[in-house]
């Protein structure tokens, strides 16, 4: 099949090639015109394959754009609209991975781009709380197509936000210095503040109180 395809391309090139008289007259063929005629002729003859290829490319672009936009949102990266624009989506991918925009230019260097492509996905996986091995899987045929969806569906980023909020210092009941949760869990704060605190929410407790007035936890 491939051999017949090459024979057909050769016959098309022979048809658009200039005649011997035209060549002697100094008329040189326009290479762009030749390429256009050959591609147009092949597209007309193999239009079902061309149409299927275009549909597959469009579906893949939409799929990757959606996943990239979700990952940008979860990592707090601005410019999610760039996920839908060619070339700019590569820039957004670098930003999601926490890399400089200079990486976009490096991705056009043969061989180097393959290595950097893996590095970017490894960093994206780590930023979403996944193992870097997920980034390496992107180069595995077929399996690599599912990696963007798996990373985009990660809920680790949301858990990290909750974790950071919980670990934030808790204001003292008297309006004084904020109290770290690690100290609150000990039950009492040593130093300047001589007072008991709830081990669950950190609310200040009055002497003799057995239950927290905020969360109802038993002291």
d(CA 68, CA 70): 5
Confidence of residue 83 (pLDDT cuts 50, 70, 90): very high
Token pair of 205 as six digits:
């407790």
Q: Which residues of 162-193 are buried (b: 16+ CB within 10 A; e: fewer)?
A: eeeeeeeebebbeeeeebeeebbeeeebeeeb
Residue given tokens 């990696």 in the structure block: 147
Q: How crowded is the C-beta side of 123, counted as CA atoms within 13 Å?
A: 15
Look at residue 53 in the predicted model and tell me its pLDDT: 87
pLDDT > 60? residue 193: no
Computed over its alpha carbons, how large is the radius of gyration of the chain?
31
Look at residue 217 in the predicted model and tell me its pLDDT: 67
Closest CA to 125 of 80, 67, 85: 67
- pTM value? 0.57
Average pLDDT, the chain: 75
d(CA 26, CA 138): 52
What whole-number percentage of the chain has pLDDT above 90?
38
- Which is higher by pLDDT, 149 or 49? 149
Confidence of residue 40 (pLDDT cuts 50, 70, 90): confident
């Amino acid at each position: 099949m491939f051999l017949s395809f090459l024979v057909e391309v050769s016959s098309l090139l022979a048809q658009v090639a200039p005649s011997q008289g035209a060549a002697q007259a100094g008329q040189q063929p326009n290479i762009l015109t030749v390429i256009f005629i050959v591609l147009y002729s092949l597209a007309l003859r193999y239009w079902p394959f061309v149409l299927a290829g275009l549909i597959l490319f469009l579906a893949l672009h939409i799929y990757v754009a959606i996943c990239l936009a979700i990952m940008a949102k979860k990592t707090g990266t601005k410019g999610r609209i760039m996920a839908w624009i060619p070339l700019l989506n590569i820039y957004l991918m670098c930003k999601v991975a926490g890399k400089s925009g200079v990486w976009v230019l490096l991705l056009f260097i043969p061989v180097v781009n393959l290595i950097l492509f893996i590095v970017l996905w490894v960093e994206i996986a780590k930023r979403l709380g996944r193992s870097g091995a997920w980034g390496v899987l992107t180069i595995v045929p077929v399996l690599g197509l599912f990696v963007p969806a798996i990373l985009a569906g990660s809920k680790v980023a949301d858990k990290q936000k909750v974790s950071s909020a919980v670990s934030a210092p808790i204001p003292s009941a008297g309006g004084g210095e904020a109290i770290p949760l690690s100290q609150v869990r000990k039950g009492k704060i040593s130093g300047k503040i001589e007072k008991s605190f709830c081990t669950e929410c950190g609310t200040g407790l009055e002497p003799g109180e057995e239950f927290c007035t905020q969360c109802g936890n038993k002291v």
